[in-house]
Amino acid sequence: MQIFFQTLVGGLSLGAVYALVAMGFSLVYRTMGLVNFAHGNVVMIGAYVASTFYLTVTLPFIPAMLIALAVTGAIGLVIERVLRPLENKDFTLMLIGTIGFGIVLEALATLIWGATGRAVRNPVQAAPVELLGLRIRTYDLVVLAVAAAATVALVLFLQRTKRGAAMQAVAMNHEAATAVGIHVGRSNAVAFGIGASLAALAGSLAGPLLYVSPTMGGTLGIHGFAAMAIGGFGSIPGAIVGGLSIGVLGSYSAGHFEGYSELVTFLVFTVAIMIRPTGIFGETTVNRA
């Protein structure tokens, strides 16, 4: 039973990272109807930037993470600005453009940091927390707390600010939002910027949990996309539920199936999508083509 609960906490910690990635995917999708296939590589860039300022420049982990958020937020704005002329004109070319950006980001990471990757030491030196006989890594609790705070901040932004309301109006009806004077391009830029910042947050938190390398974006991107699909395309609550579900499932399958854990995880994912193609929350998909 002790192993069961410790595995659960570890799965929730990694699942919180997947949830952040999925929320970035969902935010762009609900605003533009576009799956940003460069998103996983933005996660990787965020992990590298945070680890560089943390390990090489020797900044504290939180300032290093904030710098990573700023850098990837700027990358998100650049991607949106390049794709903006294609909005409502060539949807397929927009998708290809995000794939191209992802390839460029991975190549730049390899050029700047090399292909070998790096390990990131645990930024929380406190001893594990003992609770009811369980020994829980303090960093796992930190990851869960940071992810929860980011989720609350995003929800408050979307529901309590004018810019957030404008983004939701664009998501609901692109033409009507334009008719009432909402700057659609600006809303899309904000969505890309926030989505990229969430990616950096996920990458920064994943650094001490995983091995930072140019290919980590593919792994985290696939898991984040799967989390969004399970939860429902464009659904923020769905991204959270999907991310935590993928994390917990992966954690338990790793304990029981070892090298076949990824296979088991995505077999379950495939069955879930076959049963409910729209995801758990099943929001109506957006089509801007």
* Mean pLDDT, residues 258-283 taken together: 81
170 or 118, greater pLDDT? 118
Percent above pLDDT 90 for the chain: 55
Residue 41 inside a domain? The answer is yes
Measured CA to CA, the distance from residue 224 to residue 213 in angstroms comes to 17
- Whose tokens are 């860039």? That residue is 45
- Is residue 232 left, alpha or beta, with left meaning phi > 0 and alpha meaning psi from -120 to 50? left
> Residue 9 in contact with residue 73, Cβ under 8 Å?
no
- In the chain, the number of structural domains is 1
pLDDT > 70? residue 77: yes
> Residue 97 in contact with residue 198, Cβ under 8 Å?
no
Helix (H) or strand (E) holding 129: strand 129-131
Q: Which amino acid is at 138?
A: T
Which tokens is 144 given? 């869960």
pLDDT > 50? residue 289: no
Percent above pLDDT 70 for the chain: 96
pLDDT value of residue 150: 95
The CATH number given to whatever domain includes residue 209 is 1.10.3470
* Mean pLDDT, residues 203-213 taken together: 93
207 or 170, greater pLDDT? 207
4 or 246, greater pLDDT? 246
Q: What is the pLDDT of residues 40-65, one digit of tens each?
A: 999 999 999 999 999 999 999 999 99
Residue 221 inside a domain? The answer is yes
Residue 285 inside a domain? The answer is no
Strand partners, 211: 119
Measured CA to CA, the distance from residue 228 to residue 242 in angstroms comes to 6
216 contact partners, CB below 8 Å, separation of at least 6: 43, 44, 47, 117, 203, 206, 210
> Residue 288 in contact with residue 83, Cβ under 8 Å?
no
Residue 280 inside a domain? The answer is no
Q: N- to C-terminal Cα distance for the chain?
A: 51
Listing DSSP states for 228-241 in one string gives HHHH-TT-HHHHHH
pLDDT > 90? residue 234: no
pLDDT > 60? residue 284: no
pLDDT value of residue 148: 96
Residue 287 inside a domain? The answer is no
Categorize the per-residue pLDDT at 175 as very low, low, confident or very high, splitting at 50, 70 and 90. confident
Categorize the per-residue pLDDT at 31 as very low, low, confident or very high, splitting at 50, 70 and 90. confident
* Mean pLDDT, residues 177-196 taken together: 86
pLDDT > 50? residue 285: no
Categorize the per-residue pLDDT at 9 as very low, low, confident or very high, splitting at 50, 70 and 90. confident
Categorize the per-residue pLDDT at 129 as very low, low, confident or very high, splitting at 50, 70 and 90. confident
Q: What is the DSSP letter of 52?
A: I
Residue 183 inside a domain? The answer is yes
Average confidence score pLDDT of the chain: 88
Domain housing 155: 2-275
Residue 92 inside a domain? The answer is yes
* Mean pLDDT, residues 121-148 taken together: 86
pLDDT > 80? residue 93: yes
pLDDT value of residue 283: 54
Residue 216 inside a domain? The answer is yes
Helix boundaries (H) for the chain: 2-32, 39-51, 61-83, 91-113, 138-160, 162-172, 174-179, 184-206, 216-231, 236-257, 261-275
